[in-house]
Chains A and B, each alone.
Chain A
């Protein structure tokens, strides 16, 4: 009985899909011979394919739901695999060793093209970790994060163009400008929450982009700034090949630095205040936390990393224009945080690699690339809505009154 209704549902789904894809999959106009081709065979493929897919899909959903019901009781005591890896030295140390060997040898094994992709992925790790402070920890939905990235990039672009300042001189300036703009955005949105905050930050991102696009005297408008200097190596300019490798290692260093700082921040008095703010704003204030300071510090510290990455982006591509800083960029960084797991450093790192590397390596599937990518994201969010790594909090071990705070990294 149940089987029959399942088959009926899948059948309806396949009919619906055949109908939807009819114009693109079946009809083809051949402009040369001026005839219309009717590719009925495609319709059969679509029908059978969607029938099977919908059947499997609903089977998996059912499995997941019954699994949830069964596991709910002992779910709490089951440590997820990735957390277990972090806790057990036997697993953790070899993993780190393998990763570092891979990371160091990467540019010597793979082509400059691959190294570039990896550098980009590392940049998004840092961007993700920065936005994670604002969205994941403090719970402030910021859809205009790309604005700070743009601020950093233009800080370097303009200072380099007008005054010839080098990468290393501007890197801290970019971080500072990011923080400054973070506070600038923070002030007007202090009283806003949820949807309203999202809309205003979205607007802020667009304003920055539009200003850059239209204020020709200042930012050179849509044509942007070209011939920006690459980072120098102790004063020496490098060839393109060497510069690629150099920036790669630079990015590894910055990513490690970011992980170190963000990890310390999140396990600190300030970090706890951010999370409390996310959990319950009224209780947070009633417990003596200054909401204003806490929100502004989250905005500023989140934007700092975007400012830094902006400088690096400008130095890496040697050309910037407003088109690089659209809303899509904010959306990708936000997806990294949500996909990885809000508030989890490991999660954001994995999320960044998945979201940046996957589309690159899916290029083999040419035009189906983005379709596959979208499907993978949807499946991820259906089966793991809490992200790759869900909320993990620091635990403390107590032996009677003798207390030793011990961290499970």
Chain B
């Protein structure tokens, strides 16, 4: 399978601190690649760098989306990168709390729709049609994710687990070819994590989306990942199938700990 994103020698510095250190990573078509590592390893920083929130001090990110448009995305702004088909969720939930659940997802449709100011004021046929399609599409995503019962609630009033799911729904609305999930199971109970497990596999299978997943819940990681990459102090220290990673002595020492193997 060909890679949809190739990260080459990516480096991010914060003053004296090197949060990501010459990292190489490929994400292949329709795969679930998990990124694990101890706290402060630089996983979220890598996401921020891919999505254009931080600029790398070295290295490059090259994309080859299935729909065409290959090229590097270095130096592009976050909104352009999203439009090119890479989208993400946030470790600390960042919804729009005073907008409804449906509106949150509709915001995700923004970069795939085109109504402008004149369209909004005169509300012609084309705008009406687009608006209706946006509502329908967004609702459809909520149904698929399984939170359509909250459609008109304020996002800020949702239970924690549902907020995490809404972040995924909103990200899907942008029609990505690559979805970056930053600790989607954090704070979820085992039952919710089970639902999430099935959901992530379903997204990959039905939508033809590659998924790069940061997660500390090893049960989830081991059960759904095709491959796992391990980071420590900004460097990639291992990469392989769940089986290989589970038995890799370096990973056990740096992150998993002896008791995980036992």
Contact = CB atoms under 8 A, between A and B. Distances in A.
Partners in one complex: yes
Interface of A: 76, 261, 264-265, 268-273, 275-276, 279-280, 282-291, 297, 301, 391, 393-396, 398, 403, 405
> Which one of A264, A271, A279 has the highest number of Cβ atoms from chain B below 10 Å of its Cβ?
A279
Q: Interface SS of chain A: helix, strand, loop or mixed?
A: helix
Given A268-B120, A279-B97, A287 B110 contact: yes
Interface residues of B, number: 49
A282 B79 contact: no
B190 to A, nearest CB: 28
B25 interface: no
B135 A403 contact: yes
A179 to B, nearest CB: 11
6 cross-chain pairs, A with B, having the tightest CB-CB distances, nearest first: A288-B111, A268-B120, A279-B96, A288-B82, A283-B94, A395-B152
Interface in B72-101: 77-79, 82-83, 87-88, 90, 94-100
A333 to B, nearest CB: 22
Nearest to B109: A269
A283 B121 contact: no
Given A287-B107, A287-B108, A288-B79, A280 B96 contact: yes
A265 to B, nearest CB: 5
Given A393-B103, A398-B139, A269 B79 contact: no
Nearest to A268: B120
Nearest to B171: A287
A288 B97 contact: no
A264 B120 contact: yes
A391 B103 CA distance: 14
Interface of B: 51, 53, 77-79, 82-83, 87-88, 90, 94-100, 102-103, 106-108, 110-113, 115-117, 119-121, 123, 127, 130-132, 134-136, 139, 148, 151-152, 154, 157, 170-171, 174
A286 B82 contact: yes
Contact of A270 (B53, B106, B115, B139): B115
Contact of A398 (B103, B151, B154): B151
B79 A291 contact: yes
Contact of A287 (B82, B115, B132): B82
22 contacts: A76-B157, A264-B123, A265-B121, A269-B115, A269-B119, A269-B120, A269-B131, A270-B117, A272-B99, A272-B103, A272-B106, A276-B96, A286-B51, A287-B87, A287-B108, A287-B111, A288-B82, A288-B111, A393-B99, A393-B103, A396-B139, A396-B152
A127 B90 CA distance: 38
Contacts of B131: 268-269, 405
A301 B118 CA distance: 12
Contacts of A275: 96, 98-99, 103
B84 to A, nearest CB: 10
Given A272-B110, A286-B78, A289-B110, A279 B151 contact: no
Contact of B115 (A268, A286, A297): A268
> Which one of A275, A284, A398 has the highest number of Cβ atoms from chain B below 10 Å of its Cβ?
A398
